[in-house]
Amino acid sequence: MPRPELVRGDDGVQRCGWSAGDDEYLRYHDEEWGRAQHDPTRLFEKVCLEGFQAGLSWITILRRRPAFREVFHGFEVERVAAMDEDDVQRLLEDDRIIRHRGKIEATLGNARATLELDRPIDELIWSFAPETPRDPPRSFADVPAITPESNALSKELRRLGFRFVGPTTMYALMQAAGLVDDHLEGCFRSGPASALRSAVG
C-alpha cells in the first residue's frame, strides 16, 4: 500500500508520512530535517553522510550516525583530512558503519577539499539556496529529486574535488540542512522559509 502523505501521531500532531513508524525518524523529522543548519562541521557531516546514503535508506544512516561520528572524529575536518590508508582499512572492518571503500575514501578526500576552499563550507553551500521560497508541497509527488540549485551545487563541489555529491544527493542535503522546506502542507513543521531558517546546532 502507498504510504500516507500525512500522519497524525499519538500526540495529536500531524506530520509528514515518512516520519511514521520509527522513533528516530520521528525525532529527526521534528528536530532536524528542514531546519537551517549553518554550523560548518555539521554541514560537512551532512555532505559526507548524504554520500554514504546513496543507494540506501536514510534511516540506515541515521541509526549508524553515532558510530560514523565516532570513527570520523566528530567530522572535524582537519582530523578527517589527516586520516590515511590504515584508517581506511580499519573502517572497512567496522560493521557499525557502511563499509564501502569508495565512500570512506571520498569522506577523507572531501575533508581535504574542504580545507582547500577559499571560503567556509557553510557559506559555499548556502550560496546555492533558492532566492525565493516556494509554496509547501501538497504531496510527495510535488517534491523534486533534483533542482537547478542542487545541480549547480553538485557541479561546483565536484569542480572543487568533492565526490559522492551528485545533484540528487545535494538536493537531499538542501532538504536536510534547511536550504529548502519540503515538509508537506499540513505538517506542523511546514511553513515559510523565514520561520525555519533560525540556525540550529
pLDDT in tens, 58-81: 999 999 999 999 999 999 999 999
28 carries an active-site annotation: yes
CB 50 within 8 A of CB 173: yes
Q: Would you call 33 a catalytic residue per the annotation?
A: no
The C-alpha atoms of residue 14 and residue 94 are separated, in whole angstroms, by 38
Q: How far is it, in rounded angstroms, from Cα 95 to Cα 194?
A: 41
Cell of 33: 530535517
Q: Which residues pair with 8 in a beta bridge?
A: 14
- Provide the 10 A C-beta neighbour count for residue 144: 14
Of the residues 25, 28, 126, 171, only one is catalytic, namely 28
- CB contact at 8 A, 88 and 104: yes
User: Catalytic: 50?
Assistant: yes
Query: Count of residues for the chain?
Result: 201
| C-beta atoms surrounding 48 within 10 Å | 26
Q: Which position among 58, 105, 156, 185 bears the catalytic label?
A: 58
pTM score, whole prediction: 0.91
Question: What pLDDT digit, counting tens, does each position of 170-195 carry?
Answer: 999 999 999 999 999 999 999 753 34
Of 5, 45, 50, 149, the catalytic one is: 50
